[in-house]
Amino acid sequence: MKRITILIMMMLIVFSACRDKPEVIAPCEEFTGTLTLGIQGGDSPSTVTKEGVSIPEKERNTDLMKYRDVILADFPYKVEIRNYAADATTIKMDVDIAGGDAPDVYWDYLGRVNKYANSKYALPINLTFEELDDYLPSALAPVMKDGELYALPGTFWIAVMIVNKPLVESVGMGGLLEDISWTIDEFLMVVTAVQEKYGPEYYGYPLFASGTGGDYWSSFGWLSAFGAKLYDNGKIVINSKEGIEALEFMKFMSDAGLVAPGVAGLDYKIDLNAMENGNFVACGNTPAYCENFVKPLNGSEPWNAIMMEWPRAPGIDKVPVSVGPDAGMVFASTKHPVEAMELIRYLNSVEMQSFTSKTGTRFASRKSVGNVLANVPSWVIATEMVDKNGVFDTGVGLENYVEVRNLYPSMLQAIFSEEMTIQEAVDRFVKEGTAILERE
């Protein structure tokens, strides 16, 4: 009887270890199967070696793949890479889920991951207090649902204002760019001086509204400039006093010819080409843009752009920046929850975030990653920008983010085409967007 009691106690201890800690690094039994990892676009030839050394473009080939041979090189289990969101949609994932064939782990842009990172599809992730403390609070907030963590935030890009320094200096106002911060009045002074010297086909900024692509470059910064928010705590709040003021200012710039004409029909390409065209004071882009020479299309001398905060309206001290975070989750349908949790932790370990930040010039959500690019000025400046101003809520934490986001351009189009008044367009967006957010 005594031996039986001891045996039962030992079995209970083993069972408890497997049951209570599903994310432990060492599985209870040796795993010999294959995990499936869904990522955007599938695997691709690596642009860097395992050591993080860049590979010349002409030498890249399928002998060295990004995930198989570099990122997952030291992971102990076999992993099958699946291609998702190659078209920037979740259609393929929806099809696989409907067919009962979701991957074990999904790693992608948070705006797509969060469609599934909830109690319906995902396993909750239990981090230790030490691990939780290592993440930036603003990075964890979008992946928390009802007090549970359903995804791990990875690295992210940052949207900043890029400024044509030579153009500003040519009108004698280079001194305004000595600090990364400036005001709306200072920005307007520069644009006015540029147009007076070079003519009306020079503009302050390339606003665009024909689609969702690059919306964080087009208008989100101007919302921040007026202290406005698009979302707050899962609700649409652009119908605030500050939100209306920000939209009124953007409409004013359009009416006054301070932005390129035809805002309602323009897309992000006008922003991508703004500095090369040479006739814009500023545009939106990532900090990495400042690390390379701008090569003007007119053949003039290459030059370096600089980054600035979006100009501040009177009374505004902080201008939060938009960020684009990656994130990973484990599907609840996985037959290998322990190993899948191990994979998601591995992909988001301090080592992997350090590697991704260095090789992709991205920014880490884990504090202990540290200044991995302290020798890159744009990275340091952008990091300070986030620390000072915080993060603008672009809605990537919403379960129905994509659907609500698709309504935003039509609001701007209605405003800039004068189909509706600003208040009417905002009210329609809030009504239709809220109906989607409250849909069960």
Examine residue 11 and state whether it is found in any structural domain, yes or no: no
Instruction: State whether 422 and 348 are in the same domain.
Output: no
Residue type at 95 in one-letter notation: V
In this structure, the answer to whether residues 309 and 423 fall within a common structural domain is yes
> For position 25, what pLDDT does the model report?
44
- In the chain, the number of structural domains is 2
Region for residue 103 given its phi and psi (left: phi exceeds 0; alpha: psi -120 to 50; beta: otherwise):
beta
Q: Is 13 part of any domain?
A: no
Indicate whether 213 and 225 sit together in one domain: yes
180 shares its domain with 305: yes
Residues 291 and 430 in one domain: yes
Same domain for 171 and 151: no
Measured CA to CA, the distance from residue 141 to residue 136 in angstroms comes to 9
Report if pTM > 0.85. Answer: no
Q: What pLDDT sits at residue 29? A: 64
- Residue 98 sits in the same domain as residue 123: yes
Instruction: Specify the CATH number for the domain of residue 420.
Output: 3.40.190.10
What local confidence, expressed as pLDDT, does residue 97 receive? 97
Task: Find the domain containing 357 and state its range.
Answer: 25-157+325-373
Which band of pLDDT confidence, cut at 50, 70 and 90, is reported for residue 205?
Answer: very high
Q: What is the pLDDT averaged over residues 105-125? A: 95
pLDDT at 24: 40
- Do 134 and 271 have their domain in common? no
343 located within any domain:
yes
| Mean pLDDT in residue range 403-408 | 95
Upper half-sphere CA count for residue 243 (Cβ side, 13 Å): 18
Identify whether 280 is part of a domain: yes
How confident is the model over 43-83, as pLDDT tens digits?
Answer: 999 999 999 999 999 999 999 999 999 999 999 999 999 99
**Pair 342, 316 in one domain:** no
| Predicted confidence (pLDDT) per residue in 277-317, tens digit | 999 999 999 999 999 899 999 888 999 999 999 999 999 99
What is the chain's mean pLDDT, rounded?
A: 91
Q: What is the mean pLDDT of residues 170-192?
A: 96
Do 170 and 254 lie in one domain? The reply is: yes
Residue 28 pLDDT level (bands cut at 50, 70, 90): low
384 within some domain: no
Instruction: Indicate if 91 and 169 belong to the same structural domain.
Output: no
Q: Is 284 exposed, middle or buried (0-12, 13-18, 19+ CB in 10 A)?
A: buried
pLDDT at 9 over 60: no
pLDDT at 14 over 60: no
Interstrand relation of 78-84 and 34-40 (parallel, antiparallel or unpaired) = parallel
DSSP letters, 111-122, are HHHTTT-STTTB
Query: Is the residue at 59 inside a domain?
Result: yes
C-alpha span between 34 and 357 (Å, rounded): 28
Is 76 inside a domain boundary? yes
Are residues 289 and 430 both part of a single domain? yes
On whether the CB atoms of residues 182 and 176 are closer than 8 A, the answer is yes
